[in-house]
A and B are shown apart, each in its own frame.
Chain A
Amino acid sequence: MSVRLLAVLASLLTGTFVGASGFTFISAKGASYLTDDPAACVNCHIMRDQYAAWQRSSHHAQATCNDCHLPHDNVVHALFVKASNGYRHSKAFTLQNFAEPIRIVPSNSRVLEGNCLRCHREMTDAITAHGTLGVASTPAGQVDLNGCVRCHGDVGHGPHR
């Protein structure tokens, strides 16, 4: 086989790959994940419960998914958290190999609590001054079990039922 013929074949296959990837990206609404729209989070049908519960929550009018679940210190950090979550979620949903009920991972839990404090600082400063909030309390020292959402569990995702 001549190099020229191979080059043509390589071009065709590469083109097919790029085209198929593009088609898949569009059909999976890939671009929506770059937005702040909560509807993007229910592209993956498993998030319906969380989405529906958020719509009934007190924070519905104030905060979207990204407001609470992404860090807001700088763009690089935010994109990194978004990308690592996106990778983990799509891997889990494609391979269907995750434990239920779905639980927030420790790193995301820290991001979440940071956002409670970011908006409610005026009120929470008096609490954080004790130095107990945000201190890891799990046996492995990963996360603060006694954080804000231990008691304020349904402010973000409405009543469970």
Chain B
Amino acid sequence: MSDRSGALKRPALWVGMIAAGGAVGTVLVMALYANISTRKAEARETSFRVVDLDERSVDPALWAKNYPRQFDTYRRTTELTFTKYGGAGTDPRPISKLEEDPNLRTIFNGYAFAVDYNRRRGHAYMLTDQRITGRVTKAKQTGNCLHCHAANSVAYRAVGLKNGAPGTLDDSLSSAHGQAQLLAGLDGVAKMPFEEATKLVEHPVACLDCHDPKTMALRVTKPGFLRGIAALANGDAAVPHLPSIEKWRTGDRSRPYDPNQDASRQEMRSMACGQCHVEYYCGPKATLFFPWNKGLKVEEIEAFYDEYTFADGHRFFDWKHPLTGAEVLKAQHPEFEMWSQSLHARSGVSCADCHMPYVREGAIKVSDHHVRSPLLNISRSCQTCHRFPEDQLKANVLGIQDRHRALMLRAEDALVQLITAVENARKSGLDDGTLAQVSEFQRKAQWRVDFINAENSMGFHAPQEAARILGESIDYSRQGYVSIAALREVARPSKPPVTPAKRSP
């Protein structure tokens, strides 16, 4: 008989093994219990208040103490990310859009964007990049730039108070006094030179811009947006993707539409971004405003601009094109407007759903504050709804973008040909009065192609709409081109019509 089978017959070993098994089992079960308790605690409590936040808490580091998870991802906007058509690459040196696309130098001739126009970096760089751009250092700008390049609510309110607005900085931003201070501040800062105004701020977009410090609820704080969206609600343009506006319109309208009171949380998840990712006027001739009175579509904004007159009585324009004499428009970055025309918007998908998708840590669900292209996070951004392989989804998006890029370059070529033709026509003696009609075509064509070029999505935010706009742009450029030929015929009927410039097909 071996020692081993002998040992197994000893009851002490049996009992000992049961005891050891019980001990190990208990440890494992308690570990499981601890794990379950942790998950349960996570599900109950998503934040732990360490500091009291108020309307003066501009510094995100303060908010980080209460919301470390959100802050961690917010801080990652310093990372240099890029996709095929967006972002600034991983090299810290800026990439010039003007060098990538020389057509832009002709299109923006005479305007600050022909001096310096780089690809965008992350949220964290918005203030730095704005202070060093040639558009500010080589041209004169106003405090209007502050509206979107900084956490500005405290600075605006302080200026508002100095200019006679009621109350103190301790008032809630949503109170009547707070709102009065904010709007007075917008008007006050607009009159300051940029160099002076930028000293009032020290942080790029911060927690306070989109969150109520007491409740963390989403809110909008940028006064231009508050005025713009109220004007949009007051108009009659259809906005089926913003049901709270449609609801307000059918109500008694006793007070203006206020997104902070009327909008749903899902709408706020787009409006918070729409505070800045929009078309606006931020030049020196007026206080910054959003041109939304007639609606959000490209031609509705254009119609508003065409009717708008500056204080000196002149029709709205951004600058006079030196080569053609046309009074032309510059689009900013109308992402909110383009998204508004999309199927995604009609389906109730907000900006944050794709650009700040939910991430999970244990049982805690938080919005990813590392705002970036959904192409860099397809599994969380797209696949939540679209149950197709990642490669297929990416190919779909790039296919859409490639087509729009090609169409956009054609539209730019057409516009540059028009500009060159007008330039030649002026040299050959046609005066600006005769060419006024052609200038209008340039204004329309340029506004449309720039609307797509300045918009950050290369058509993806609303593909069919973007293609429509580019198609119209090409048409207006060609109408202008054709009408020059006609004008030449009228002016000098004996001479043959001008030969079209040679272009690639």
User: What is the interface of chain A, defined by CB distance below 8 A to chain B?
Assistant: 1, 3, 6-7, 9-10, 12-17, 20-21, 23-24, 27-28, 44-46, 48, 93-94, 96, 99-101, 103, 153, 159-161
- Assuming the contacts A27-B33, A103-B387, asked whether A16 and B15 have C-beta atoms less than 8 A apart, the reply is no
- Assuming the contacts A13-B22, A93-B39, A100-B379, asked whether A23 and B348 have C-beta atoms less than 8 A apart, the reply is no
Q: A28 contacts which chain B residues (CB < 8 A)?
A: 33, 36
- Assuming the contacts A94-B35, A100-B360, asked whether A3 and B11 have C-beta atoms less than 8 A apart, the reply is yes
Q: Establish whether residues B39 and A14, one from each chain, have CB atoms under 8 Å apart when the complex forms.
A: no
User: Which 3 pairs of residues, A with B, have the shortest CB-CB distance?
Assistant: A13-B22, A10-B19, A45-B43
- Which of the 9-residue segments B24-32, B314-322, B426-434 touches chain A? B24-32
Q: Establish whether residues B36 and A161, one from each chain, have CB atoms under 8 Å apart when the complex forms.
A: no
With an 8 A cutoff between CB atoms, is B246 at the interface? no
Number of residues of chain B lying within 8 A (CB) of chain A: 39
Q: Mark B1-25, 1 if CB is under 8 A from A, else 0.
A: 0000000000110011011111101
Q: Establish whether residues A10 and B348, one from each chain, have CB atoms under 8 Å apart when the complex forms.
A: no
With an 8 A cutoff between CB atoms, is B78 at the interface? no
* Residue of A12, A24, A103 touching B36 (CB-CB under 8 A): A24
The smallest C-beta distance from A50 to any residue of chain B, in angstroms, reads 12
- Assuming the contacts A14-B18, A160-B384, asked whether A1 and B353 have C-beta atoms less than 8 A apart, the reply is no
The smallest C-beta distance from B367 to any residue of chain A, in angstroms, reads 14
Q: Establish whether residues B384 and A101, one from each chain, have CB atoms under 8 Å apart when the complex forms.
A: yes
With an 8 A cutoff between CB atoms, is B362 at the interface? yes
- Assuming the contacts A13-B26, A24-B33, A161-B353, asked whether A100 and B380 have C-beta atoms less than 8 A apart, the reply is yes
Given contacts A13-B19, A46-B363, 12 further A-B contacts (CB under 8 A): A1-B12, A3-B12, A10-B22, A14-B21, A20-B26, A20-B29, A21-B25, A45-B40, A96-B362, A99-B379, A161-B348, A161-B353
The smallest C-beta distance from B117 to any residue of chain A, in angstroms, reads 36
11 A–B pairs (Cβ distance < 8 Å), ordered by A? A3-B12, A6-B12, A9-B19, A12-B22, A14-B19, A16-B26, A17-B23, A17-B25, A20-B30, A101-B379, A103-B387
CB within 8 Å of A: which B36-63 residues: 36-37, 39-40, 42-43
User: What residue of chain A has the Cβ atom nearest to residue B43's Cβ?
Assistant: A45
Q: A160 contacts which chain B residues (CB < 8 A)?
A: 384-385
Cα(A117)–Cα(B385), bound, Å? 24
With an 8 A cutoff between CB atoms, is B323 at the interface? no
With an 8 A cutoff between CB atoms, is B215 at the interface? no
User: What residue of chain A has the Cβ atom nearest to residue B13's Cβ?
Assistant: A6
The smallest C-beta distance from B389 to any residue of chain A, in angstroms, reads 10
Q: Establish whether residues B22 and A14, one from each chain, have CB atoms under 8 Å apart when the complex forms.
A: yes
Q: A159 contacts which chain B residues (CB < 8 A)?
A: 348
Q: Establish whether residues A161 and B39, one from each chain, have CB atoms under 8 Å apart when the complex forms.
A: no
Q: Establish whether residues B16 and A10, one from each chain, have CB atoms under 8 Å apart when the complex forms.
A: yes
The smallest C-beta distance from A5 to any residue of chain B, in angstroms, reads 9
User: What residue of chain B has the Cβ atom nearest to residue A149's Cβ?
Assistant: B387
Cα(A81)–Cα(B59), bound, Å? 52
Cα(A45)–Cα(B358), bound, Å? 14
Q: B32 contacts which chain A residues (CB < 8 A)?
A: 24, 94
The smallest C-beta distance from B347 to any residue of chain A, in angstroms, reads 7
Q: Establish whether residues B33 and A23, one from each chain, have CB atoms under 8 Å apart when the complex forms.
A: yes
With an 8 A cutoff between CB atoms, is B383 at the interface? yes
The smallest C-beta distance from A143 to any residue of chain B, in angstroms, reads 12
Q: B365 contacts which chain A residues (CB < 8 A)?
A: 48
Q: B301 contacts which chain A residues (CB < 8 A)?
A: none
Cα(A10)–Cα(B380), bound, Å? 50
The smallest C-beta distance from A47 to any residue of chain B, in angstroms, reads 10
User: What residue of chain B has the Cβ atom nearest to residue A24's Cβ?
Assistant: B33
Cα(A74)–Cα(B29), bound, Å? 33
With an 8 A cutoff between CB atoms, is B244 at the interface? no
Q: Establish whether residues A27 and B29, one from each chain, have CB atoms under 8 Å apart when the complex forms.
A: no
With an 8 A cutoff between CB atoms, is B349 at the interface? yes
The smallest C-beta distance from B386 to any residue of chain A, in angstroms, reads 10
- Assuming the contacts A13-B23, A45-B39, A160-B385, asked whether A20 and B33 have C-beta atoms less than 8 A apart, the reply is yes
Q: B11 contacts which chain A residues (CB < 8 A)?
A: 3
* Residue of B29, B39, B43, B349 touching A21 (CB-CB under 8 A): B29
With an 8 A cutoff between CB atoms, is B266 at the interface? yes
Cα(A41)–Cα(B12), bound, Å? 45
Cα(A93)–Cα(B12), bound, Å? 39
Q: B362 contacts which chain A residues (CB < 8 A)?
A: 96
Cα(A12)–Cα(B25), bound, Å? 13
Q: Establish whether residues A161 and B15, one from each chain, have CB atoms under 8 Å apart when the complex forms.
A: no
Q: A13 contacts which chain B residues (CB < 8 A)?
A: 18-20, 22-23, 26
Q: A45 contacts which chain B residues (CB < 8 A)?
A: 39-40, 42-43, 363
* Residue of A6, A17, A93 touching B29 (CB-CB under 8 A): A17
The smallest C-beta distance from B20 to any residue of chain A, in angstroms, reads 8
**Residue from B32, B348, B383 having most chain A Cβ neighbours under 10 A:** B32
Cα(A24)–Cα(B350), bound, Å? 41
Cα(A13)–Cα(B28), bound, Å? 13
* Residue of B16, B33, B35, B363 touching A6 (CB-CB under 8 A): B16
Q: A16 contacts which chain B residues (CB < 8 A)?
A: 22, 26
